[in-house]
Chain A
Amino acid sequence: MNLLARLTDGVPARSLWGLGLLLVLLLVAPALLGKYGLSVLILVLYFAYVGQAWNIMMGFAGQLSLGHALYAGVGGYIAAGLFFHYGIGPWAGVFVAVLAASVAGSIVGYLGFRFSLAGVYFALLTIAFSEFTRIAFDHWSWAGGSGGLFLKVDATSDILNLRGGPLLFYYVILALAVAAFLLCRVLLESRLGRYWLAIREDPEAAQAVGVPVLRCKMIAVVISAAMTSLAGVWNAFYYNNLFPETAFAMGRSIEFTLAPIIGGLGTLFGPIVGAVVLTGLGEIFTDLSELFHISGLKQIFYGLALLVIVMYRPAGVWPWLAERLGFAEKRR
């Protein structure tokens, strides 16, 4: 089956039309939204993208990583560092960044899987590696140490070097998000995707029917890490600064997990819906807490929202929403 057929196989026509319409809206959104609206949409797309990446490892392959900031940080720092020190643009630097993150992912994955770490033990391993790297970067002068790495901002527009205004970054992150979505769809409807789901459900039974569990898990980690590193590169050039304290922070790792968990793990639309919900809630809560001038109020609302969602919709918002709208994703 050719690629287009594989992508659309089994999808009802109205869903395809709906997605098409959504894509068109997203393409013209900058013309419709103001500067603030655009920045919010950029955030949504960013979280949808990193959410898709994390979802591959957790939702599809069932491996809980709480240290994904490692890959975003490594990716961002390498691309930014190459640009800062040698003038190598991100269009080239991204390859090195992705390679480095993939190696990092392979190490974490190999150690974790080879030594049969699962569940919380594996999650702790991922945290340990991320924290370890954070402290290492704090002391690495090439990367700017704890003082940070700063990229020059100038008025020139240079697409290949990711120099430009929000509009450029919007379309880049939109492209990434769309590509991630399509990739996830293709992966799910492939042998590898099916094997991942089997591993997620029951690794022992999967092995008994010939699934090469270690290899599949490794592939999941590497793809997830590589994708996440792209977000790191994007992030570095969008904000133009990097600090180990934030680039590798556990808070960042946790951020990556929220959209897919809240939206619905293991589903295609989960991370996207989750990103919309989270960013939306974030903006509402920011506004609310500004009314009251209490530090930490926004986070308190946020925490309450998370609590409510995990208690009443533990499978995520999307499965519930999809049922309501009659869009149930095919039972996998």
Chain B
Amino acid sequence: MLLDVLEERLLGGDDPIAFDEALAVAELPDAEVPSLIALAHRVRLARTGPGVELESIISAKTGACSEDCGFCSQSRHWRSPLRPEPFIDVAEMVAAAQAAEKLGSTEFCIVLAVRGPDDRIMQQVLAATEALRTSTGLRVACSLGILTREQAATLASAGVHRYNHNMEAARSFFPAICSTHTWEERRETCRLVGDAGMELCSGGIVGMGESLRQRVELAFELRDLGPREVPVNFLNPRPGTPLQDQPLVGALEAVKTIALFRLVLPGAVIRPAGGREVILRDLQALGMLAGANALIVGNYLTTLGRAPEDDLRMLADLGMPIGRLDPR
């Protein structure tokens, strides 16, 4: 009944899902998941079309981060097997981007483990952006942490197309996972990104111990920010971090969460991201049918992904063409 009502409203026009309705979706029993998938897929097709945007990412500066995000192996606060690495050689980054472009990626995101960029990092990122823009046809995205207004404007002027700054968790849950900066500081950077004219990419991590209500809160808080892209990460507990023994989210629950985000953010680029291999396992295609229209192809920042050819074959089997997705 709920899904029938939502279908009529969400496909019918500008009548967005309400918080209590989204919470009811999050609480649907597993038996209802096929119907939820069907609805999310129809909403996705109606609002964004059949295309899938592929992105590749690279850790351009790894580890030794000053922040204490409890999920992250790159924080210097935790004893992790990960060894810090300085800024990657630009030639190696360009070669990696060219390899990603050959796979079909249209976005390439430069990611640094920092609270925010200092002047030296800004210069390194600007040089890398220029090299990528002249050597590839990829759109360049960045994820450099907390920005000043001037830094956001500089990145936009340099041709950075999209900026990633995940809210990570609902406002009510964020203090449980990070104490070195606030949720409000993250939101401010997201606003600066939009003000500067870059597309905002902001999502979160599912499975850090939040309640279903807090998961829905995150989706609505993101909706208020109006991101072009919403990465939906699933916690893959990292050794040495405070969340290393956190139980994994179930595969069907993950599929349900993707669908939930589609219903709350019907026109966004919804990208199942880190952790999908561990959480969705054999249900990758169901994740795509549950409203996703993007993937990170290849490896992540510090962990490995699915073999790219497996994802490409899956998308071909699903009849989902890959390419750029521009706002409708």
Q: Do A and B bind each other?
A: no
Residues of A whose CB lies within 8 Å of any CB of B are: none
